[in-house]
C-alpha cells in the first residue's frame, strides 16, 4: 500500500468516526434551528498542481454534526446548512488543513468554494500540523511575498468598497485612495503603471470614464462583484509569469456559474440597475453560464426624460459573462467577456454662473472598451495542467469640446479620437513534478493596433490645429518559466525569469525573479522577494506625429521602463483570527522616458496623450514600509489597521530629483465592521461597516502667476522647475456601509446604504483663474458618492 492509499484510508476512517459521533448530536441541533437552510458545495485541489483530491474531510467547525468527504473528482456537498456565517475546514493526511472563516450563506444562493490544500513535504511521522486561513496567502502559489488575495465578498462588505474591486484595494497597505477616481497608486507610482489582468490576459482599463481624471483610473469598475471570483493583487516583486508591469498587477478571475441550480439577482440603486443570472446549461456535463448586465440609473432616467438637468448625468452600461463547458476527455472550455459603454454630456450653465473658464466649455465623450476570449484547460494524468487562451481586446475614445463666449457663441476647441485593438495568445503548462518541485512555463504573444487623431485649439480665439496623430501596429512577445521549491515544511522558494521582446524597435529584456519564505514557527514567518520588471509605453507614445515633426516617428526607438523591486516581509500570526504583517520595500526605476532638459517624466503621466519627443534617461526611487494588522471576521466582528510610510522621487530630463505627483508620504487606514443575526429565528443579518483614512495631501507645482495672467485664456501655467514641491493639507476621508439582509425560503432581500467621503473633504483639481475675483486659486471640489441599494436574490 503506497503513501496515497494510506493517507486516503486514514482520512476515511477519521471522517467515519466523526460522522458517527455527530449523529446523535445532530438531532438535537436541527430541532433548535428553524432558520432557512442552504447548500455548500465545492472542490478541493492540490495547491501546487491543481489536481482534484479525493477522500478529503470537509466540515463546518461551528456545526460539528456536518462532515463529508470529497468524491473521486475532489467535489463535496454539505446540505441543510442554516443561513448565516460559518467556518469550514478541509483536512487531509499529509496536507496542511485549510480554514475558511465566516462564509456567508444566504437563503437564495448556494455557497461554492474552491479549496487549495498545500502538501507537507516531510514524512508522515514528522509532520507538524499547521492550519492555513484562506486569506493568508494569494491564489498564485508562486507568490511568496508582496501579494494579497482579494475576496469579492469583502468588496461588497468593506466600507468604501462600493462593490468595486479597485476601490476595495485602497484599504490595503501601500495603496492611496481617492474619491473622484478609483485609480490605483501603489507606493507613489502613477496608476498608469499598474497592469489590469482578466483570465490571464492584460485588458484595457476596465473602469467607467477611464483615464479622464487620471490615466489608469476611472469612476467605478465595470467588473461586477456578481461575476468576479477571488483574485490576487500584487504590490511588489511579482512572480515571473507577469510581464509588462512596473508598479503592480491586479490579476482578476471570473468565477464559474452554478452548474446545478439556477440563481438570479436583481439590484436597483442610485449608481445603477443590475440583472444577473447563472445556472446549468447541462447538469449532466456540469456546463454553466454566468452573466451580469448593468445600466446607470441616471442614464435610464435621461432616456425616459431627456430634457432638463439630467442631460449632464453620466450614462454608462457594462456586461460581464462566462460560459463554462467541461468535457470528459478534452478538458474544460470557456468563453468569457467584459464590455462597457460610457457617455457624458454636461449641461452649460448661464454666463453669470461661470466662476472659471472651464465652466464655459461643453465637453462630450463616448468610450467603449471590451475584452473577450476562448480559454481551454486540460489536466494531464501526471499532475500537469495546460491552459491556453485566445483573446481580443478593444478600446475606443471619442471626445469633443466647444468653448463659449459670454454671448454663448461656441467655437470648437478639442477633437480627440483613439482606437486600440489587441489580439492575444497566451499558454502555460504547470506541473507538480514532486512534493518539492512545481514548475510553470508559458508564453504570451500580443499583436497591437493603434489609431489616433488629436486636434486642439491653442487659444479660444484660434481655430483647432492638428497636435498629434499616429497609426501603427506592433507585437509584444514574452515568455517565462517559474519553479516553486518546497525545501521542507518550513522553507519555500521560487526562482524564475521573464523575457520580453517588442518587434517595433527590437527592444528586449531578460528579467530574473526570485523569492523565499521561511516559516520559523506556526506563528512567525519571514519572506524576501526580488524582481526586475519592465513596461512598454502606451502605443500613442511610440506612434505620435506632431505638426513640427511631420511624418517622423519621434519616439519610435523608446526602450522599456525598467524597475528593480526588493521586498521583505515579516508575518506574525498572533492567534487563529489575528495577524500582523510588516513589509519593507525598495524600488529603483531606470530607463524612464522623460523630455530632455525638462522635469517631465512618464512616472507622473496623467493625461491621455503625448506630443513631445522622449528619451530613456529618467530614473525613480520608491521606498518605505507597509504594516497590516488584521482581525479576521469571527462572531460577526472584524477590524483592520494599515499604515504606510514612504517616499517617492523621480529624476527628470532636467537632471534634478523631484517629488512624484503621487508622493503622499504616509497613508493610514482603519476599518471595522460588525454583523448581527437578528429576527425571530436569527436568520436576518444587520451589518455596519466603517472606514477612516488619513493620508498626505495632493502634490502640485507652484503657479507661475505672471505667465498665467499673460495667457490669452488665463490658462494656469506652473513653475515646473519646482515640480510637485508643494503639498496640500492632509486628506481625511470617512466611508460607511449599512446593510440589512432578510433571508426567506429560496429568496433573500438586502437593503444597503453605502457612502464615501462623509467628512466632506474637498479634492484638488489644479489651480484656475477665477473670472469673478481675478485671483488664481486652487480649485477644490467636495466629491462624495452615495449608493442606496435594494437587492433581490432568488
**Which positions ≥6 away from 332 have C-beta within 8 Å?**
324, 325, 326, 376, 377, 378
What are the pLDDT digits (tens) for 483-523? 999 999 899 999 999 999 999 999 999 999 999 999 999 89
Confidence grade of residue 59 (pLDDT, cut at 50, 70, 90):
very high
Q: Residue 723 carries which DSSP code?
A: T
Domain map (residue ranges) of the chain: 3-134, 170-793
**Cα distance between residue 413 and residue 403, in whole Å:** 6
**Cα distance between residue 688 and residue 692, in whole Å:** 14
Whether 14 shows a pLDDT value over 80: the answer reads: no
Q: Residue 335 carries which DSSP code?
A: E
Q: Residue 14 carries which DSSP code?
A: H
At 306 the pLDDT is 54
Report the percentage of the chain scoring pLDDT > 70. 93
CA distances to 120, 127, 296, 339, 518 from 489, rounded to whole Å, are 6, 8, 51, 44, 9
At 309 the pLDDT is 46
**Cβ(297)–Cβ(265) below 8 Å:** no
Report the Cα 342 to chain-centroid distance in Å: 20
What are the pLDDT digits (tens) for 182-233? 999 999 999 999 999 999 999 999 999 998 877 888 999 999 989 999 899 9
For residue 222, which phi and psi values (nearest 5 degrees)?
Answer: -90, -5
Whether 58 shows a pLDDT value over 90: the answer reads: yes
Question: For the structural domain made of 3-134, what CATH number should be given?
Answer: 2.60.40.1120
At 32 the pLDDT is 39
The arithmetic mean of pLDDT across residues 692-719, rounded, is 94
Whether 251 shows a pLDDT value over 70: the answer reads: yes
**Cα distance between residue 345 and residue 146, in whole Å:** 41
User: In b/e form, how buried is each residue of 281-293, taking b as 16+ CB within 10 angstroms?
Assistant: eeeeebbbbbbbb
Report the percentage of the chain scoring pLDDT > 90. 70
Helix intervals (H) in 406-561: 539-542
The arithmetic mean of pLDDT across residues 701-716, rounded, is 93
**Cα distance between residue 189 and residue 662, in whole Å:** 6
At 540 the pLDDT is 86
Tell me how many degrees the CA angle 377-251-139 measures, rounded to the nearest 5: 70
What are the pLDDT digits (tens) for 115-141? 999 888 764 444 444 566 666 678 899
Grid cell, residue 591, equals 530607463
The arithmetic mean of pLDDT across residues 32-57, rounded, is 89
Q: Which of 142-146, 226-230, 439-443, 454-458 has the highest mean pLDDT?
A: 439-443
What are the pLDDT digits (tens) for 285-344? 999 999 999 999 878 877 766 544 444 467 999 999 999 999 999 999 999 999 999 998
Return the bridge partners of 69, or none: 57
Return the bridge partners of 10, or none: none
Confidence grade of residue 410 (pLDDT, cut at 50, 70, 90):
confident
Least confident of 244-258, 460-474, 582-596, 659-673: 460-474
Whether 276 shows a pLDDT value over 90: the answer reads: yes
**Cβ(566)–Cβ(585) below 8 Å:** yes
- Rounded to the nearest integer, the mean pLDDT of the chain is 89
Whether 10 shows a pLDDT value over 60: the answer reads: no
Whether 420 shows a pLDDT value over 80: the answer reads: yes
pTM value is: 0.90
The arithmetic mean of pLDDT across residues 628-649, rounded, is 95
At 267 the pLDDT is 96
Confidence grade of residue 7 (pLDDT, cut at 50, 70, 90):
very low
Higher local confidence (pLDDT), 549 or 618: 618
Higher local confidence (pLDDT), 680 or 276: 276
Confidence grade of residue 18 (pLDDT, cut at 50, 70, 90):
very low
CB-based contacts of 704-709 (< 8 A; 24+ apart in sequence):
705/776, 708/769, 708/776, 709/769, 709/776
Q: Residue 707 carries which DSSP code?
A: H
Return the bridge partners of 704, or none: none
Please tell me the chain's helix, strand, coil percentages from 3-state DSSP, rounded to the nearest 5.
Answer: 10, 55, 35
**Cα distance between residue 784 and residue 589, in whole Å:** 35
Q: Which CATH number fits domain 170-793: 2.40.37.10, 2.40.70.10, 1.10.3720.10, 2.40.170.20?
A: 2.40.170.20
Whether 24 shows a pLDDT value over 50: the answer reads: no
Longest dimension (CA), the chain: 92
Higher local confidence (pLDDT), 298 or 278: 278
End-to-end CA distance of the chain: 49
At 254 the pLDDT is 96
At 188 the pLDDT is 96
Amino acid at each position: 500500500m503506497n503513501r496515497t492509499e494510506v493517507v486516503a484510508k486514514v482520512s476515511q476512517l477519521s471522517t467515519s468516526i466523526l460522522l458517527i459521533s455527530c449523529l446523535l448530536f445532530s438531532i438535537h441541533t436541527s430541532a433548535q434551528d428553524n432558520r432557512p437552510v442552504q447548500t455548500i458545495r465545492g472542490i478541493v485541489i492540490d495547491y501546487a498542481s491543481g489536481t482534484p483530491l479525493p477522500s478529503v474531510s470537509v466540515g463546518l467547525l461551528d456545526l460539528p454534526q456536518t462532515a463529508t468527504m470529497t468524491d473521486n473528482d475532489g467535489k463535496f456537498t454539505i446540505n441543510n446548512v442554516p443561513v448565516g456565517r460559518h467556518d469550514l475546514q478541509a483536512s487531509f493526511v499529509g496536507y496542511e488543513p485549510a480554514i475558511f472563516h465566516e462564509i456567508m450563506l444566504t437563503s437564495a444562493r448556494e455557497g461554492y468554494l474552491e479549496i487549495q490544500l498545500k502538501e507537507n513535504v516531510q514524512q508522515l511521522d514528522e509532520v507538524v500540523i499547521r492550519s492555513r486561513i484562506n486569506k493568508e496567502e494569494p491564489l498564485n502559489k508562486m507568490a511568496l511575498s508582496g501579494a494579497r488575495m482579494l475576496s469579492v465578498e469583502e468588496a461588497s462588505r468593506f466600507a468604501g468598497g462600493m462593490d468595486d474591486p479597485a476601490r476595495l484595494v485602497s484599504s490595503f497597505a501601500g495603496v492611496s485612495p481617492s474619491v473622484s477616481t478609483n485609480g490605483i497608486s501603489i507606493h507613489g507610482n502613477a496608476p498608469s503603471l499598474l497592469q489590469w489582468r482578466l483570465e490571464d490576459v492584460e485588458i484595457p482599463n476596465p473602469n467607467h470614464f477611464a483615464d479622464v481624471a487620471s490615466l489608469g483610473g476611472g469612476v467605478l469598475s465595470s467588473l461586477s462583484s456578481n461575476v468576479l471570483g477571488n483574485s490576487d493583487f500584487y504590490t511588489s516583486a511579482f512572480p515571473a509569469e507577469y510581464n509588462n508591469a512596473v508598479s503592480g498587477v491586479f490579476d482578476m478571475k471570473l468565477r464559474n456559474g452554478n452548474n446545478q441550480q439556477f440563481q438570479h439577482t436583481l439590484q436597483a440603486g442610485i449608481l445603477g440597475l443590475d440583472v444577473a443570472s447563472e445556472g446549468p446549461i447541462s447538469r449532466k456535463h456540469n456546463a454553466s453560464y454566468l452573466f451580469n448586465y448593468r445600466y446607470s440609473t441616471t442614464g435610464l432616467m435621461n432616456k425616459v426624460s431627456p430634457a432638463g438637468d439630467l442631460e449632464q448625468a453620466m450614462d454608462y452600461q457594462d456586461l460581464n459573462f462566462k460560459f463554462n463547458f467541461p468535457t470528459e476527455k478534452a478538458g474544460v472550455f470557456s468563453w468569457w467577456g467584459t464590455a462597457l459603454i460610457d457617455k457624458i454630456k454636461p449641461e452649460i450653465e448661464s454666463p453669470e454662473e461661470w466662476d472659471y473658464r472651464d465652466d464655459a466649455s461643453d465637453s462630450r465623450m463616448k468610450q467603449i472598451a471590451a475584452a473577450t476570449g476562448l480559454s481551454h484547460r486540460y489536466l494531464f494524468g501526471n499532475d500537469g495542467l495546460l491552459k491556453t487562451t485566445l483573446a481580443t481586446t478593444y478600446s475606443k475614445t471619442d471626445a469633443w469640446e466647444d468653448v463659449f463666449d459670454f454671448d454663448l457663441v461656441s467655437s470648437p476647441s478639442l477633437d480627440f479620437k483613439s482606437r486600440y485593438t489587441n489580439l492575444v495568445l497566451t499558454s502555460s503548462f504547470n506541473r507538480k513534478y514532486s512534493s518539492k518541485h512545481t514548475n510553470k512555463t508559458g508564453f504570451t504573444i500580443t499583436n497591437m493596433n493603434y489609431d489616433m487623431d488629436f486636434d486642439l485649439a491653442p487659444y479660444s480665439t484660434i481655430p483647432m490645429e492638428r497636435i498629434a496623430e499616429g497609426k501603427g501596429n506592433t507585437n509584444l512577445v514574452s515568455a517565462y518559466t517559474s519553479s516553486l521549491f518546497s525545501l521542507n515544511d518550513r522553507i519555500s522558494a521560487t526562482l524564475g525569469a521573464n523575457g520580453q521582446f517588442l518587434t517595433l524597435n527590437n527592444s528586449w529584456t531578460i528579467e530574473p525573479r526570485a523569492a523565499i519564505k521561511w516559516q520559523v514557527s506556526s506563528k512567525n514567518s519571514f519572506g524576501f522577494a526580488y524582481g526586475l520588471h519592465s513596461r512598454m509605453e502606451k502605443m500613442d507614445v511610440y506612434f505620435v506625429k506632431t505638426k513640427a515633426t511631420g511624418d517622423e516617428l519621434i519616439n519610435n526607438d523608446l526602450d522599456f521602463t525598467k524597475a528593480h523591486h526588493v521586498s521583505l516581509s515579516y508575518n506574525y500570526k498572533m492567534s487563529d483570527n489575528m495577524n500582523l504583517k510588516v513589509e519593507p520595500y525598495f524600488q529603483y526605476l531606470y530607463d524612464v522616458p522623460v523630455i530632455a532638459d525638462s522635469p517631465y517624466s512618464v512616472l507622473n503621466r496623467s493625461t491621455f496623450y503625448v506630443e513631445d519627443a522622449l528619451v530613456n534617461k529618467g530614473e525613480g526611487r520608491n521606498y518605505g514600509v507597509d504594516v497590516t494588522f488584521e482581525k479576521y471576521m469571527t462572531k460577526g466582528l472584524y477590524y483592520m489597521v494599515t499604515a504606510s510610510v514612504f517616499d517617492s522621487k523621480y529624476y527628470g530630463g532636467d537632471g534634478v530629483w523631484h517629488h512624484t505627483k503621487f508622493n503622499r508620504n504616509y497613508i493610514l487606514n482603519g476599518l471595522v465592521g460588525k454583523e448581527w443575526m437578528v429576527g425571530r429565528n436569527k436568520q436576518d443579518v444587520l451589518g455596519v461597516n466603517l472606514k477612516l483614512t488619513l493620508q498626505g495631501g495632493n502634490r502640485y507645482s507652484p503657479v507661475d502667476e505672471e505667465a498665467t495672467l499673460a495667457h490669452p485664456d488665463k490658462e494656469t501655467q506652473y513653475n515646473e522647475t519646482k515640480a510637485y514641491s508643494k503639498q496640500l493639507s492632509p486628506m481625511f476621508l470617512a466611508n460607511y456601509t449599512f446593510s440589512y439582509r432578510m433571508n426567506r425560503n429560496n429568496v433573500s432581500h438586502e437593503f444597503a446604504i453605502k457612502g464615501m467621503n462623509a467628512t466632506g473633504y474637498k479634492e484638488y483639481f489644479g489651480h484656475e483663474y477665477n473670472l469673478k475675483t481675478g485671483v488664481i486659486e486652487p480649485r477644490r471640489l467636495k466629491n462624495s458618492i452615495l449608493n442606496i441599494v435594494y437587492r433581490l436574490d432568488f
